[in-house]
Structure 1
Amino acid sequence: MRVLIVDDEPLARARLAALLQECEDVEVAGSVGDGEAALTMLAQTHPDVLLLDINMPGMDGKALAARLANRLRPQIVFCTAYEAHAVHAFDLGAVDYLLKPVRLERLRDALKRVRQRLDAQPHEPVGWLHARVRGEPIRMALDEVICLIAEEKYVIAHRGGDQLLLDDSLRQLEETYPDQLIRLHRNCLVPAHRLIGLKTLADGRVLARLAGTDFSPEVSRRNLPTLRKLLRMS
């Protein structure tokens, strides 16, 4: 089981990492200090569970959990010093709610609950895109994609350090994955989990901030209200 620790206190992250070393079949996928950094790590490491603090600067734990609601992975285990958020935490679908300082046995119990929930649910459907490399067809997972950009008659998938030519149009892809892809511009789609914020430039243009990359594609005025609503909901 891959675990991502999300807490703005370095000592709390270090303590959780030490406790996880005492748990069987557990790997620490990463350790970050806020919700936006967590979204970036999610896109890169695909953990099974988040050990998530609630009170953090920027995107707090509740906002991050709301963004990830209804997904099989990652599951959420809140780790906080405050009891008051427990009801809301379970409303957000959290598996467990641990009070700091977290005890080893409670952590083991929480991870056991995560395993049981994952085992009881069907496998999360994986979105696959059909691309070509030097004329040969390949498949690539939608989670790997940073953005999809239409250029003349083709659609280019930007994935990490490379770019792949796709067989489908942006409209076909948007219709196939309506809950996973969002439109920034008539020539650009991005996976919804990549969107972490917006940036307004001095000239009035708005750019999208995407997890896992410094690339910031422009957002059209037509699509801007939808994106702002999505970010407020998360």
Structure 2
Amino acid sequence: MRVLIADDEPLARTRLEMLLRDCPGAELVGSVASASAALAALPELKPTVLLLDIGMPGVDGLALAERIARMAPPPQVVFCTAYAQHALRAYELKAADYLLKPVRIERLREALERARKLHIESAAARPHLSGMVRGARLRVPLDEVIALLADEKYVTVHHQGGTLLIEDSLRTLEQAHPERWLRLHRSCLIPRERLLGLNTQTDGRIVAQLAGSTLQPEVSRRNLPTVRAWLRHP
């Protein structure tokens, strides 16, 4: 299992890193100090499990878990916190487990095993897009999609492995997974969790900054209020 740690306390991160060495099958792929850094790292690191603190500056762990829950499929979240009062909310967010600090090795192993089983169940039902590439049919999981750009006839799927042409319309895709997509303009949809921020160009155009990609699609004036509202309250 690929494990990412998100905790603003250096000592807490170091302790979890040490404990993971004694957890068979666990591979530490990253250790970050904030929720925003974790969100930015997810597309590249592709963790199976996120060991997540709750009380962090800026976006807290619960808010990050709400955003992660919209991914398809999401990494399994194991909260590691000093506060017991958030347990109910954590399980409402379908967290794999809730560990109190100081985390004990036995409980961490239990949590990782539970997360592994949940990940297998989730992956079995992994939604995807399908299209033809050089005569062969290719399936692209939705969680690997970066953006959907439409022209007159086709939709180009920009994903982590390249691009794919599909015949589904943006409207059809938007209606199939309304909770997943955010419309930037009439010819562009992006996964909501990919949006990191907005940049204003020298010519006045506003473009989106996307996690895991240098692609910067333009945001229309019509859709700008909705996009900004999402950034404020994801």
Same fold (TM over 0.5): yes
Mapped to 2, the partners of 1:154 and 1:91 lie a distance apart of 39
Q: Does the CA contact (< 8 Å) of 1:133 and 1:164 recur in 2?
A: yes
1:76-225 maps to which residues of 2 (within 5 A)?
76-115=77-116, 117=118, 123=123, 125-160=125-160, 162-200=162-200, 205-225=205-225
- Find the counterpart in structure 2 of residue 30 from structure 1: 30
* Equivalent residue letter for 2:178: P
Segment of structure 1 superposing worse, 197-206 or 185-194: 197-206
After TM superposition, give the deviation of residue 124 of structure 1 in Å: 5.7
Q: Does the CA contact (< 8 Å) of 1:130 and 1:167 recur in 2?
A: no
Normalised to the residue count of structure 1, the TM-score between the two structures is: 0.81
Deviation string 1:58-110 (CA, Å, 9 cap, x unpaired) is 32212101112376632222112344544443443333332333221222232
The verdict on how the C-alpha distance between 1:115 and 1:135 changes in structure 2, with shifts beyond 3 A counting, is closer
After TM superposition, give the deviation of residue 201 of structure 1 in Å: 5.5
Deviation string 1:179-233 (CA, Å, 9 cap, x unpaired) is 3222111111112221233345576643322111232222223223333343344
After TM superposition, give the deviation of residue 56 of structure 1 in Å: 2.5
RMSD: 2.9
Q: Does the CA contact (< 8 Å) of 2:153 and 2:167 recur in 1?
A: no
* Equivalent residue letter for 2:160: G
Mapped to 2, the partners of 1:69 and 1:126 lie a distance apart of 14
Deviation string 1:26-67 (CA, Å, 9 cap, x unpaired) is 222322222222223322343332110123233221210111
Q: Which runs of 5+ in 2 are unaligned?
A: none
Mapped to 1, the partners of 2:122 and 2:8 lie a distance apart of 33
Deviation string 1:125-145 (CA, Å, 9 cap, x unpaired) is 323223333354422222222
What percent identity do the matched residue pairs reach? 56
Mapped to 2, the partners of 1:20 and 1:68 lie a distance apart of 22
Mapped to 1, the partners of 2:111 and 2:178 lie a distance apart of 33
1:17 alignment partner, SS class: helix
Mapped to 2, the partners of 1:94 and 1:137 lie a distance apart of 35
Deviation string 1:131-183 (CA, Å, 9 cap, x unpaired) is 33335442222222211112343322222363332232222322333232221
Q: Which runs of 5+ in 1 are unaligned?
A: none
Q: Does the CA contact (< 8 Å) of 1:67 and 1:233 recur in 2?
A: no
Normalised to the residue count of structure 2, the TM-score between the two structures is: 0.81
The verdict on how the C-alpha distance between 1:154 and 1:36 changes in structure 2, with shifts beyond 3 A counting, is same
